[in-house]
Amino acid sequence: MRPLAILVLTIVLAAGMASPATSADEALQPPIADAEQDVSDDYDPWQRFNEKMFFFNHDILDRYVLKPVATGWGKVLPDVGKRGLDRAFDNLGMPKRLVNSLLQGRFRGAGRELARFGVNTTVGVVGFLDVARAQLHIEKSDADTGETLGVYGLGPGPYLVLPALKPLTVRDGIGYGVDGLLDPFGYVTPFLATTGISIVKQVNERSLNLQIFQDVEDSVLDLYSAVRNGYLQRRRRLIEEADAARQAEWHPPSRAVAAR
């Protein structure tokens, strides 16, 4: 299984990273600040390797395989069908979000995930329609294992680009592998079917973002740095937002403060 391979690879890479000792004062700092404070938004000690992998992913795999297939996919399937399929794939990701919401102590988020899955799987025709959001205003609580590890203070580690995968850090690579193990459908679906579903999901997602990708490529001089910095900053922001949501759930403001 590819997620398991990613998990093993990132653990091996992480084992080779030097981790400086922390003082007692540093250990008392908030988890996210402790994990992120000394890591810049462009921490990339493996840049030479990453740039080669980025060249392969973007200039070869995407340009000559994924983009042409996604373009043809867009001509065959109307936009409404692609968006419905994207929502259905997202609906299948409920177990990962549910488990990580619980692990983060975001029980309201976990409840929203259960409610969304129940409504969208039934009334929403296995998730093709997001009835929970459109009619009941139930937003999904996006959460993954990499985010959970960050909430509890594990630093991101080096930025990492691997063949045929989206950008990662070592922490998110470990999280990606664990998320794959949390997917119950992988245990009941044949390997070839699981691989086929993964390919269709990636092609469909690329087809939905053809113009966005093109606009970025046309407007950015250093695409590698732009993708890296954008990914790292976005992940840091998501972890901060997840931690803030957890704090708000466990320590809600008093009525007097909320009334101000």
Give me the pLDDT at residue 148, please: 97
Contacts of 93 (CB under 8 A, 6+ apart): 183
Tell me what pLDDT residue 257 has. Answer: 47
Q: Which mean pLDDT values do the consecutive 10-residue runs of the chain (260 residues) have?
A: 53 46 37 48 88 97 97 96 96 95 95 96 96 94 94 95 94 94 81 87 96 94 95 96 92 58
Give every CB contact of residue 105 below 8 A, 6+ residues apart in sequence: 246, 249, 250
Strand partners, 159: 169
pTM of the complete model: 0.81
- What per-residue confidence (pLDDT) applies to 182? 87
- Continuous segment of H or E residues that includes residue 55: helix 47-55
Across the strands, what pairs with 160?
A: 168
- At residue 33, the pLDDT reads 43
Q: Which residue in 153, 131, 127, 140 sits closest to 243, CA to CA? A: 153
Q: Are 50 and 165 in contact (CB under 8 A)?
A: no
Please list, in sequence order, all residues whose beta carbon lies within 8 angstroms of the beta carbon of residue 169, skipping any fewer than 6 positions away.
146, 156, 157, 158, 159, 160, 232, 235
By the 8 A CB rule, do 6 and 165 touch? yes
CA proximity to 140, closest of 180, 100, 178, 175: 100
What separation in angstroms does the CA of 147 have from each of 61, 104, 165, 209, 240? 28, 9, 18, 24, 9
Query: What residues does 169 pair with on adjacent strands?
Result: 159
DSSP character string of 164-198 = TS--EEHHHHHHHHHHHHH-THHHHS-HHHHHHHH
